[in-house]
A and B are shown apart, each in its own frame.
Chain A
Amino acid sequence: MEYNVDKREIKLDRELSKLDKLVIRFLDILKKYTDYVIISGYVSIILGRTRATEDVDLFIKKMDYETFLKFYEELVKNGFWCINAESPKDIFSFLENKMAVRFSLENTSAPNFELKFPKRQVDLDTFDDFLTIIMPENKIKISSLERQIAFKRFYLKSYKDKEDALHLEETFRGQIDYDKVNKLKEIVKDIED
């Protein structure tokens, strides 16, 4: 694994897990319709953390209903369903009301993809503060390591989240911008849901 801080790229030549393959399958559909950035646990997992997860969290850029409908129809055609509702209008309405919606493979509930439109400015900023993981046959966009660490250490704060942050800090020691982490800390520590 090779992190080029200036290029904001991580070269990764890992064996793909079943979860990685599912993520790539989902993203292949999603990125036809909107921009995305993966946040939270899966970022640590794809970069080596030894744990599984029930969900993969993503911010997606706002899209209109017509575009969402096409996205939804392609998901369904490819064996996914939404676990929050069946009607695309209802699902879109959840998104518009700043709620997350989850898609999983048909007849399953986990693992699932938790999609949400950015709610706050700090969420929106994620689209300007991402890294690209470059694998031999795929690219995946993740939020910056500093953003991950700040959210996990100072907003989410569970043991699991702190361990995810620690994994990134140890794996990329010497390459983390702690001034940036501290600035983000000041923003995320006061977030109220």
Chain B
Amino acid sequence: MEAQEKTVINKETPAKREFMTPGRTNKEDRINFVKYWANYVKTHSDKEWSSQQNIVIDSQMMQLPD
């Protein structure tokens, strides 16, 4: 019982999710993602979006020093 209450107390309220509209074509889907991501950049801290973006960038820059 105690453990269950603890779980409830520690549970974070999930943020309201934003959804991306799928595109009918590859081109439209890419454009929709660019818009979706730009909105993410606008609504989240620089540290938050850049840490995700860096996974994309750094994975293609393996030869570079940290």
Contact = CB atoms under 8 A, between A and B. Distances in A.
Contacts, number: 86
B14 interface: no
Given A163-B31, A166-B31, A166-B35, A22 B64 contact: yes
B61 A52 contact: yes
Contacts of A47: 41
B61 A171 contact: no
A150 to B, nearest CB: 18
B61 A18 contact: yes
A139 B22 CA distance: 37
Nearest to B35: A170
Interface residues of B, number: 29
Interface residues of A, number: 27
Contacts of A52: 56-57, 59-61
Contact of B57 (A19, A108, A163, A170): A19
Interface in A1-37: 1, 12-19, 21-22
A165 B58 CA distance: 22
Contact of A167 (B34, B60, B63, B66): B34
A88 interface: no
Contacts of A159: 27, 30
B35 to A, nearest CB: 5
28 contacts: A1-B41, A13-B45, A13-B46, A14-B46, A15-B47, A15-B50, A17-B61, A18-B57, A18-B61, A18-B64, A18-B66, A19-B58, A22-B61, A45-B57, A48-B37, A48-B38, A48-B49, A49-B37, A52-B57, A52-B60, A52-B61, A108-B63, A163-B30, A166-B34, A167-B34, A167-B37, A170-B35, A170-B42
